[in-house]
C-alpha cells in the first residue's frame, strides 16, 4: 500500500521530467536485444524519450558514408546518455572497431562491468559479486601497428600518466561510492616494466592521495586469472588497463552464466554509454534466440545513473521493478536458451513485462 501511494506521487512529479536517451541498436543480435530492452524499460514506466541513431554495419546499410556517423556522436554529445547494442568489427582487416572509436571520441575512459551470480542461473559458483573497472582509451587498444619488415610487425602499447591517474581515481571513487572494500589492480609490470609500471605507480599514488577506506592490492594478471577461477569471491573490484579488462570481463562473465548476463557501462566526464559486454553474436543473429538480459541489465544501470545524477525517483523505481521482474522470471525458469531455458528473445521480454509490479 505504502509503495503504491509512493509510486503515484512519484509519477505526478516526474511527468515533468523526461530523459532523452540515444538508442543505438547496433549489428547482429543488437536490434533484437535492443527492441526487447526498450520495450521492457517503456513498460516499466521509465520516463525515457528514445532517439534512434545508428553505428556499425547498420549505419552503412542506411546510407551513411562511415561506420560512426557524425549524427550519432552528436546525438550522444547532445543528450549525454546512450544505450548501445553491439557493433561488429571485422577480424584481421577491414574497418577499425566502432566501439573503440566511440569510446575515444567521447572520452568514455572508464568501463564498469559488474559480475554477479543470479538466482535461477545455476553455475559452479554461488555468490560471485565483483566489478571489473577497465581503462577504455589506450593500452594495446590504441591500434598503432606497423610492419617493420616482411614478416615482422609491432603493436604499440600506450600508457600515459594522465589516463592511468584518471582511471585510478575513477575506480577508487566508484568503489568507495558503491561501498566496496577492496580494489585489486591486475598488471604485468614484471615484464612490461614501463607501461604497466606507470599504471601501478599512478594507482598506488591515487589510492594514497584519495584517502579512501579501501584495501589496495596488486596482483600479476596470470596468477590473478587462476585465482579468479579458483576463488572468485576473493575479488571485489578489479582495476585493469584496456586489453586486460577486455579479457577479464569475458572470463568473469563465464563465472556467472555467460555473456547473456553481463552488463556494462562506459563513463566519461559528461557522457555515458551503456552496453552489454557481449558482441554482435553473428552465429545466432536474426533467430530470436539471443538473451536480451545483458543489455537490459545495462539499461537498468542507465536508469540508476539517471536517477543518481538527475535525482529522478521514477527512473530509480523503474530500475528496481525491472530488476525484480527479471529475477522473478529467472527463478521461475523463464529463460533464454543460453541459460538452459526455451524462451526466445521477444518471449523473454514478454515474460519480464508480465512480472513487472
Ligand atoms: P560475441 O560476444 O558476439 O559472441 C561470443 C559467443 O557468445 C557466441 O557464441 C554468441 O552466440 C554468444 N553470445 C553473445 N551474446 C549473447 C547473448 N546475448 N545471448 C546468447 N548468446 C550470446 O563475441 P565474438 O563472436 O567474439 O564477436 C562477434 C562480433 O562482435 C565481432 O565483430 C566483435 O568485434 C564484436 N564485438 C562487439 C562488442 C561491442 O559492440 N561492444 C563487444 C565484443 C565483440
**Is residue 167 in contact with ligand 1, taking CB distance under 6 Å?**
no
Pairing type for strands 152-158 and 237-240 reads: unpaired
Question: How do residues 41-51 score in pLDDT, each as one tens digit?
Answer: 999 999 999 99
88 lines ligand 1 (CB under 6 A): yes
* Rounded Cα–Cα distance for residues 150 and 59 (Å): 36
Report how far ligand 1's centroid is from the alpha carbon of 33 (Å).
12
What digits encode the pLDDT tens for the residues 127-173? 999 999 999 999 999 889 999 999 999 999 999 999 999 999 999 99
Could you report the per-residue pLDDT of 279-331, keeping only the tens digit for each? Answer: 999 999 999 999 999 999 999 999 999 999 999 999 999 999 999 999 999 99
* pLDDT at residue 10 greater than cutoff 50: no
pLDDT at 289 (0 to 100)? 98
Q: Quick count: other Cβ atoms within 10 Å of Cβ 356? A: 16
Rounded Cα–Cα distance for residues 187 and 170 (Å) = 17
Length of the chain (residues): 357
- Does residue 328's CB lie within 6 angstroms of at least one atom of ligand 1? no
275 lines ligand 1 (CB under 6 A): yes
pLDDT for residue 90: 86
The stretch 223-232 carries a mean pLDDT of: 98
pLDDT at 3 over 50: no
Residues 6+ apart with CB under 8 A from 288: 32, 344, 345, 346
Ligand 1 pocket mutation pick from 26, 95, 266, 281 by most atoms within 8 angstroms of CB: 281
- Distance, in Å, from the CA atom of 279 to the CA atom of 256, rounded to the nearest integer, reads 17
Candidates 14, 196, 246, 317; catalytic one: 246
Q: What is the DSSP letter of 136?
A: -
Q: What is the pLDDT of residue 68?
A: 94
| pLDDT score of 135 | 98
Residues whose CB falls within 8 Å of the CB of residue 73, separated by 6 or more in sequence, listed in order: 102, 105, 106
Residues 6 or more apart in contact with residue 352 via CB below 8 angstroms:
40, 296, 322, 325, 326, 329, 334
Tell me the pLDDT band of 6, cut-offs 50, 70 and 90.
very low
Q: How much helix, strand and coil, in percent to the nearest 5, is found in the chain?
A: 45, 20, 35
- Look up 357 and say whether it is catalytic: no
Catalytic, 182? Answer no
pTM as predicted: 0.94
pLDDT at 11 over 80: no
Count of CB atoms within 10 A of residue 223's CB? 10
Chain segment 244-277, per-residue pLDDT in tens: 999 999 999 999 999 999 999 999 999 999 999 9
| 15 pLDDT tier (thresholds 50, 70, 90) | low
196 is a catalytic site residue:
no
Q: In the predicted model, what is the mean pLDDT of residues 215-232?
A: 98
- Give the Å distance between the CA of 277 and the centre of ligand 1: 8
Ligand 1 and 225: CB distance under 6 A: no
**CA 295 to ligand 1: nearest atom:** 18
Domains and CATH numbers, the chain: 18-121+257-357 (3.40.718.10), 124-129+136-243 (3.40.50)
Residue 234 neighbours by CB distance under 10 Å: 14
CB 113 within 8 A of CB 262: yes
Residue of 290, 297, 317, 346 lying closest to 118 (CA atoms):
297
- Is 317 noted as a catalytic residue in this protein? no
Amino acid at each position: 500500500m505504502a509503495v503504491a501511494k509512493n509510486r503515484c506521487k512519484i509519477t505526478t512529479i516526474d511527468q515533468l521530467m523526461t530523459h532523452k536517451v540515444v538508442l543505438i541498436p547496433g549489428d547482429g543480435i543488437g536490434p533484437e536485444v535492443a527492441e526487447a530492452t526498450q520495450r521492457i524499460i517503456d513498460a516499466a514506466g521509465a520516463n525515457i524519450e528514445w532517439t534512434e541513431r545508428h553505428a556499425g554495419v547498420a549505419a552503412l546499410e542506411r546510407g551513411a558514408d562511415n561506420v560512426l556517423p557524425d549524427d550519432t556522436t552528436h546525438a550522444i554529445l547532445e543528450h549525454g546518455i546512450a544505450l548501445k547494442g553491439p557493433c561488429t568489427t571485422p577480424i584481421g582487416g577491414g574497418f577499425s572497431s566502432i566501439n573503440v572509436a566511440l569510446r575515444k571520441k567521447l572520452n568514455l575512459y572508464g568501463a564498469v562491468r559488474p559480475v554477479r551470480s543470479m538466482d535461477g542461473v545455476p553455475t559452479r559458483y554461488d555468490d560471485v559479486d565483483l566489478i571489473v573497472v577497465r581503462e577504455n582509451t589506450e593500452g594495446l587498444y590504441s591500434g598503432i601497428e606497423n610492419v617493420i619488415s616482411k614478416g615482422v610487425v609491432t603493436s604499440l602499447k600506450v600508457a600515459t600518466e594522465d589516463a592511468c591517474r584518471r582511471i585510478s581515481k575513477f575506480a577508487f571513487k566508484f568503489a568507495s561510492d558503491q561501498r566496496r572494500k577492496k580494489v585489486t589492480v591486475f598488471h604485468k609490470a614484471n615484464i612490461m616494466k614501463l607501461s604497466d609500471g606507470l599504471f601501478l605507480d599512478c594507482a598506488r599514488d591515487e589510492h594514497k592521495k584519495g584517502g579512501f577506506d579501501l584495501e589496495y592490492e596488486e596482483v600479476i594478471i596470470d596468477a590473478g586469472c587462476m585465482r579468479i577461477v579458483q576463488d572468485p569471491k576473493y575479488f571485489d573490484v578489479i582495476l585493469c588497463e584496456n586489453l586486460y579488462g577486455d579479457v577479464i570481463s569475458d572470463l568473469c562473465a563465464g563465472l556467472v552464466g555467460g555473456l547473456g548476463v553481463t552488463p556494462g557501462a562506459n563513463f566519461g566526464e559528461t557522457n555515458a554509454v551503456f552496453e552489454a559486454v557481449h558482441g554482435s553474436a553473428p552465429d545466432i543473429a536474426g533467430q530470436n534466440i539471443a538473451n536480451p538480459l545483458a543489455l537490459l541489465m545495462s539499461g537498468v544501470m542507465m536508469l540508476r545513473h539517471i536517477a543518481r545524477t538527475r535525482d529522478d525517483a521514477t527512473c530509480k523505481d523503474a530500475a528496481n521493478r525491472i530488476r525484480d521482474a527479471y529475477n522473478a522470471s529467472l527463478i521461475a525458469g523463464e529463460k533464454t536458451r543460453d541459460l538452459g531455458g526455451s524462451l526466445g528473445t521477444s518471449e523473454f521480454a514478454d515474460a519480464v513485462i508480465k512480472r513487472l509490479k
